[in-house]
Structure formats: C-alpha cells, structure tokens
Amino acid sequence: MIQIFSRIAARSPRRATSASHPSSSKHRPGQFPCCSPAYRGITAISTSNPMRSGDGNSEGQDAPLAEGKDHGCSPGVQSTPDIEKKYVHRVYDAIAPHFSSTRFAKWPKVAGFLNSLRPGSVVLDAGCGNGKYLGFNPECFYIGCDISPPLIEICAGRGHEVFVADAVNLPYRENVADAAISIAVLHHLSTEDRRRKAIEELIRVVKRGGLVLITVWAVEQEDKSLLNKWTPLCDKYNEEWVDPSSPMVRNKSATTLDSIEETDEDTRAVKQTDDQLKNSYDGLEDKTLIMDEHDKTQQEYFVPWHLPFHRAEIGGASAAALQNGLAKKDDKKGTVVYNRYYHIFVEGELQRLVAGMKNAAIVDQFYDKSNWCIVLEKL
C-alpha cells in the first residue's frame, strides 16, 4: 500500500484543500491512510477559506504542477467562469446540508460499475458531493474531491479521504487510480473547453487500462415537460462566461413559471415542490433577450433548488444570497430558491468531447434515466 500512496501527491499543493478525517493506522479497503507520507506534499488549508482555481487567488494559480508539467491546461480553461462561481459553487455551498440529506440512493449503473472493479482497486470520485459512492464497494480504496467545502466537510465527517479541488485541475499525479467516476458533474461546467479538460483530467489520473465512468443530464429527458419548467439561458453568450455581469435569461418578467420540480440526479424521480415560481430577476431586465424559436437546441438552463426556510440560515449564506440577488424567497412555500447552472447534453456530445483523445477509447455508452453515459478505458 505504501507504494500506492507514495505516488499520490498534489499537482497544485496550494490549491487542494485536505479535509481528511482522522483514521486508525491500520489501513483497510475503503479507507486511505490520511497520515501517509504521500499526503505531506499537500498543504492542508481550512475549508472555511478554500483556494479555488480561478476564484481570484493568484497564488493558487501560480502553484507548481507535479513533475514540472503543465498538462496542456491553458489559464483560460483553469480560470473559473463567473457563472460557475455564482450559480454552481456558491449555490452548493449554501444548500450543502439540505442537498446532502436528499442524496442517499445509489444509481444502479454506478453501483454496477463499482462492483465490477477488482478487489484492491483505487477509485477516484471527482465531484463526490456528499460522498455517497465513497466506500460503496468495500473491497476498493477511495479518494474523492469536490469544489464545495461544505460538502467535503460532510464527507470528511463520514471518515472519507477527500479534498476541495476543481474538476479541471485534479490534485493527483498521473496513473494513481485504477478507476474514476464523474457522476452528474460535467453539466455544471459552462464551456466546451472546460468540459473536455475535465475528461482529460480523469483520464490522466487513471492507470493504463483503467476505466472512467461519466454521466451527465440529457436534453432527451424521459419526462419532456421538465425542459419547459427549467429557465433557459440565452445561448448567444460570451464563450468563457467571465463577464462579472449576470447571465442573460429569457424575458418572462410579465409571466409566472409553473412549478419547477426537484429531480433526483440518480433515480430521476421527480419531487413536486411548488405550484408556481415567479421568474423575475432584479437587475436582469435590461440584459434579457428573447430567444429565437428557430435557434439550435437549447442546452443552457437554470435548474432551481428549493431550500426550506428552516434550513436556510445556517451560516448566513442564504441571507447574503438574498441580499445579492442570487436567490429569491418564495414566501408561499417557505423556501429560498437558488438557481443552479446546467449545460444539458445532447446525444453524441460526450463522444465528440472524447474524439481526438489518443490515450482513451470508449468501451461502453448508454442512455439511462435521462442521463447520457460513457465508459472510457485509458490506452
């Protein structure tokens, strides 16, 4: 095991935040030795002040990469677009405890993938959320990372070995894992370059012959009415979404939007949570644009999360979000409504992202429960 862990070190030690839970010195499947010398190269940072890639921390951006390699990652890809900071990072930080309480069911396809791995396999979960898949197959060893410090704290509290890290800049050396999973993560990345880079990172960290499972939400929803209940963003946007101004949305200020249903990301079981939600955003009216009905397939959406009032004031994040216009109150239902950014994938899009990657091949591809999924093998 020491040989395995000695190869695991942070590519960007100042950027990765360790949130490992204390464990015994006797190692067992499903648990990494947090006191291993392999972790000494990783600077532990308080999760209350994470150094996120592209979030304005120049020191973190200048951190050296492992073995002096830049892995072909341009500064533009590593720089986090404004829409992701506001409508992914900050949202999941605010809703983490409530989100975690709804994430416990294991998706059968993911469970089957993990159970198919050889005993002793090292598995990376990139975008692990509350860690529900970490330790699923007790015969394997797990490491996880997520961009949300509150979610990582939840994982650490459950005894998992985890880091705060960006999917486009994973804090692990090459060839350290036997398998990797990315479950419902890529659709939160707002540019094609960042989505491709995240896939390249997953391939980079697995060994030759290692497998990577990726799942994303599909435009081709089994319940097609959902697309009409999400808020579509204007698809004529700046490629990098780095403008500090808020993103444009379709102008519906004079109308209301029917209930937007919370959708379980694993079972796609729809939960009715509201009857009506006003779709008006202060300060956006002068930037809205009516979308041409003949434009290409709409793929950019805001998908809401309804946070009950009694869960909303933990840490004061919701109060700040309401004040800054990043969330809205629904007094009738007693919730604070956050919008989460999604790029919904069309059929074949995942395959096109992988096309041209000479070090990986698609060994399986399928559609299941409104998700597009692929399994890659590193060559």
For residue 17, report the phi and psi dihedrals to the nearest 5 degrees.
-110, 120
Which pairs with CB-CB distance under 8 Å and at least 24 residues apart come from 269-276?
270/223, 270/226, 273/306, 273/333, 273/335, 274/306, 274/330, 274/333, 274/335, 275/332, 275/333
Strand partners, 142: 123
Task: Look at residue 208 and tell me if it is in a domain.
Answer: yes
Position 361 scores a pLDDT of 97
CA-CA distances (angstroms) from residue 330 to 43, 199, 305? 42, 38, 12
Bridging pattern class, strands 300-308 and 276-278? unpaired
The string of pLDDT tens digits covering residues 139-182 is: 999 999 999 999 999 999 999 999 999 999 999 999 999 999 99
Position 18 scores a pLDDT of 54
Position 330 scores a pLDDT of 85
What's the rounded Cα separation, in Å, for the pair 324 and 318?
10
Q: Supply the CATH number for residue 124's domain.
A: 3.40.50.150
Task: Look at residue 102 and tell me if it is in a domain.
Answer: yes
Position 48 scores a pLDDT of 39
Range of the domain at 109: 82-222+345-378
Residue type, 24: S
Position 19 scores a pLDDT of 56
| Nearest one of 319, 278, 352 to 372, comparing CA atoms | 352
Q: CA-CA-CA-CA torsion for 122, 128, 130, 132, nearest 10 degrees? A: -50
Task: Look at residue 92 and tell me if it is in a domain.
Answer: yes
- Looking at residue 265, what DSSP letter applies? T
Rg of the chain (C-alpha set): 20
b (16+ CB within 10 A) / e for 122-145: bbbbbbbbbbbbbbbbeebbbbbb
Residue ranges of the chain with per-residue pLDDT less than 50: 1-16, 20-71, 235-247, 249-295
Task: Look at residue 365 and tell me if it is in a domain.
Answer: yes
Task: Look at residue 201 and tell me if it is in a domain.
Answer: yes
Q: How many domains does the chain have?
A: 1
Strand partners, 378: 360
What's the rounded Cα separation, in Å, for the pair 379 and 377?
6
Position 357 scores a pLDDT of 96
Describe the crossing of helices 90-102 and 149-157 by its angle, rounded to 10 degrees. 30
Task: Look at residue 145 and tell me if it is in a domain.
Answer: yes
Task: Look at residue 306 and tell me if it is in a domain.
Answer: no
Task: Look at residue 269 and tell me if it is in a domain.
Answer: no
Residue type, 15: R
CA-CA distances (angstroms) from residue 277 to 258, 283, 306, 339? 6, 18, 10, 12
The string of pLDDT tens digits covering residues 64-105 is: 234 434 445 555 787 899 999 999 999 999 888 888 888 888
